């Protein structure tokens, strides 16, 4: 019988080191060796201490709760490197963005690494512009580590969840959230010079009395050929959602002019 291949040995060694065995049984099914090694590398670098359960399992990425070696909560977003949807889903955002066009033509894996780095950089750019986002901590290959929005691995609610009848937010509270989101949109456009391009009640969390913008990987610079189209769509999504929770939203034209300053 021949010895197991190097990859498998590495993988077994990696798995043996994990404290939370159940967690890695789940992770092992979903991810390839290269992804496990990337998580391992972030542990070696002292970014991640322990990895815990799944917060979200989407088509393009999975989000886990983790702890830093100091015991601070972290969100670890791992992009899947093996789905056709992923490729289709992100192409329209990457093509036309001079920062990523070149990369887009190379291999899928590298494309996904670039996508993770793009989310990291967009988070930085948003934060610098004064928009509340999860603080980006580290990115390595297809693994992005950021501030956990929530407490003790219990994530904060999304606006869509906050809108459920049992949460009963007053119109005044919704109005305040709306005003903040519009303020963020102004800052995104005028300071960060990016359009989120997927802004809606599923990509805004609510934590400590403030909306927090998430899922910024697809955000594009204002020079992107579809930037204006994406912005118009974002505005419509935000108008639709906030009017559904009772906010008297300004007209599209008014919002558009406020956000773009034109
Ligand atoms: P996807 O592209 O898979 O939708 P998201 O970035 O939207 O990825 O994250 C998916 C889900 O994971 C979110 O809806 C939210 O519930 C959770 N999540 C994402 N980022 C964080 C974070 N920083 N802290 C806590 N939960 C998060």
Nearest ligand 1 atom to the CA of 146 is: 23
The CATH number assigned to the domain holding 65 equals 3.30.200.20
Q: Determine phi and psi for 250, rounding to 5 degrees.
A: -65, 165
pLDDT at 214: 98
The CATH number assigned to the domain holding 203 equals 1.10.510.10
Q: Does 171 lie in the same domain as 245?
A: yes
Q: Does 25 lie in the same domain as 132?
A: yes
Last residue of a domain, one of 151, 186, 202: 151
Residue 201 CA, ligand 1 centroid: distance in Å: 12
Question: Could you say which of 73, 97, 198, 234 is catalytic?
Answer: 198
Q: Are 60 and 82 in contact (CB under 8 A)?
A: no
Indicate if 198 belongs to the active site. Answer: yes
| Token pair belonging to 152 | 């003790």
- Cβ atoms within 10 Å, residue 157: 17
Q: Does 182 lie in the same domain as 144?
A: no
Q: Does 127 lie in the same domain as 33?
A: yes
Per-residue pLDDT tens over the stretch 72-99: 999 999 998 865 545 556 666 766 776 6
Q: What is the CA radius of gyration of the chain?
A: 20
Nearest CA residue ID for atom 8, ligand 1: 215
Query: Rounded to an integer, what distance in angstroms lies between the CA atom of residue 73 and that of residue 28?
Result: 22
Residue 203 CA, ligand 1 centroid: distance in Å: 8
Q: Does 235 lie in the same domain as 210?
A: yes
Nearest CA residue ID for atom 4, ligand 1: 58
| Token pair belonging to 68 | 């830093």
Q: Does 126 lie in the same domain as 145?
A: yes
Residue 225 CA, ligand 1 centroid: distance in Å: 27
With a CB cutoff of 8 Å and minimum separation 6, the contacts of 206 are 156, 157, 158, 159, 162, 177, 212
Q: Are 214 and 136 in contact (CB under 8 A)?
A: no
Residue 63 CA, ligand 1 centroid: distance in Å: 6
Q: Does 145 lie in the same domain as 43?
A: yes
pLDDT at 147: 98
81 in a structural domain: yes
- Cβ atoms within 10 Å, residue 172: 10
- CB distance 78 to ligand 1 below 6 Å: no
pLDDT at 105: 47
User: For residue 207, what are the domain limits?
Assistant: 156-260
Residue 214 CA, ligand 1 centroid: distance in Å: 7
Pocket test for ligand 1, best of 86, 116, 208, 215 (most atoms within 8 A of CB): 215
Distance from chain centroid for Cα 134: 9
Indicate if 20 belongs to the active site. Answer: no
Question: Could you say which of 20, 22, 179, 215 is catalytic?
Answer: 215
246 in a structural domain: yes
1 in a structural domain: no
> Complex ipTM, two decimals?
0.98
pLDDT at 200: 98
Q: Does 178 lie in the same domain as 128?
A: no
- CB distance 150 to ligand 1 below 6 Å: yes
Structural domains in the chain (count): 2
- Positions in the chain whose pLDDT score sits under 50: 85, 105
pLDDT at 110: 86
Q: Does 137 lie in the same domain as 73?
A: yes
pLDDT at 3: 67
Query: Rounded to an integer, what distance in angstroms lies between the CA atom of residue 221 and that of residue 239?
Result: 22
pLDDT at 185: 98
pLDDT at 58: 85
């Amino acid at each position: 019988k021949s010895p197991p291949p190097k990859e498998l040995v590495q993988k077994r060694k990696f798995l043996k080191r994990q404290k939370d065995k159940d967690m890695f049984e789940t992770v092992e099914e979903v991810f390839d060796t290269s992804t496990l090694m990337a998580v391992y590398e972030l542990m070696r670098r002292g970014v991640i201490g322990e990895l815990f359960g799944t917060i979200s399992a989407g088509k393009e990425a999975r989000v886990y709760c983790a702890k830093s070696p100091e015991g601070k909560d972290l969100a670890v977003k791992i992009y899947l490197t093996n789905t056709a949807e992923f490729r289709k889903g992100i192409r329209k955002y990457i093509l036309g963005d001079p920062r990523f066009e070149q990369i887009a033509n190379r291999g899928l894996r590298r494309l996904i690494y670039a996508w993770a780095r793009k989310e990291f950089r967009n988070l930085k750019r948003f934060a610098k512009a004064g928009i509340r986002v999860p603080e980006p901590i580290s990115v390595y290959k297809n693994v992005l580590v950021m501030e956990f929005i929530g407490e003790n691995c219990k994530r904060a609610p999304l606006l869509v969840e906050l809108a459920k009848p049992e949460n009963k937010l007053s119109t005044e509270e919704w109005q305040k959230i709306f005003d903040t989101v519009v303020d963020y949109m102004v800052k995104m456009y005028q300071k960060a010079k990016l359009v989120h391009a997927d802004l809606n009640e599923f990509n805004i969390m609510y934590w400590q009395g403030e909306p927090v913008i998430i899922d910024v990987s697809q955000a594009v610079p204002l020079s992107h050929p579809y930037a204006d189209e994406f912005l118009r769509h974002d505005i419509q999504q935000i108008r639709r959602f906030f009017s559904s929770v009772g906010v008297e939203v300004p007209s599209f034209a008014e919002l558009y002019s406020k956000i773009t300053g034109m």
